[in-house]
Every structure is written in C-alpha cells, then in structure tokens.
Amino acid sequence: MALQGAEVLLYPTAIGSEPHAPINSYMHWLRVQQGHAAANVMPLVASNRVGEEHLPGPGAGAPPNAYYGGSFIAGSQGEVMAQVGAKQLEHGHPDADPALVEGFVTATVDLDKVAVERAAWGVFRDRRPELYGCLATLGGSKA
C-alpha cells in the first residue's frame, strides 16, 4: 500500500481468544501492527472488535469468542499515540491489558513531516518492485 501512495495504514480487525488454543494473542497482534507502521514509516490505525460472540450451530455451548478491543493509533515509528481503554500510556508504550470498552481515540499526525521522515530513512529508495513478481507465484518463478 505504501508503494502505491498510501499515507496512513488502516487495519480493521477482529482479534480475540483462540477457541482452539488457550493463548492470548493480544500483545502479538499489537506488536505486529506496530511493526507495519515502523517498517513503512507510516502512521497506522488499528481497530479491533470488543466483547463476546456466541456462535450458533455445532459450536453452540462452547466458550464464546472474546474480542480484546484495544484499538489504537500508531505513529510512523510504531509508537502508540492513542489507545482505546488504555489505563496508562507513557512514551508510546501500549497498555498490555486495556479495559474492554467500546470507544474511539484520535491523534494528530503531520503527514508532510512523516513524508520527509520516510524519505530520510530511505526505506523505499532501494526497493525494486519490478522484481516482486516471483513472490506472487507458488513456485517463485518469474510470472
């Protein structure tokens, strides 16, 4: 998206409990999103569902899917600028356990400043998208 001119990355998600495994994937999801922002030197808005969903059908009676919430806005270095339900947000560090609440947050980003920053990092300068074709094939051959 960045190579096509995007200035902000938007990631609507539905991340929560994993019914097949007793893991909490919240921090992994958060760090991956922060990585997208930092790797592209671009602000990112990640929205996530919050609450429980009971599935009908054969899975009825099983534990509900529990969505974490914790939607956030990351700056161009991946730092968390604002987070829904955060009890404490210092120096760009996200809350590892945001309150499960509905809501929204806002942040102000100077896109002109970010464009200068992105150019200074040179993350797109050395990319060769004309060579990416083989990545889109199963065998890795040129398409």
- In the chain, % of residues over pLDDT 70: 92
Residues with Cβ within 8 Å of 100's Cβ and at least 6 positions away in sequence, in order, are: 50, 51, 68, 69, 85
pTM here is 0.82
Cβ–Cβ < 8 Å for 28, 44? no
**Is pLDDT above 90 for 132?**
no
**Is pLDDT above 70 for 143?**
no
> In terms of Cα–Cα distance, which of 19, 20, 45 is closest to 33?
45
pLDDT for 124 equals 81
Residues with Cβ within 8 Å of 106's Cβ and at least 6 positions away in sequence, in order, are: 73, 82
pLDDT single digits (tens) 65-123: 888 899 999 999 999 999 998 877 766 677 777 888 899 999 999 999 999 999 999 88
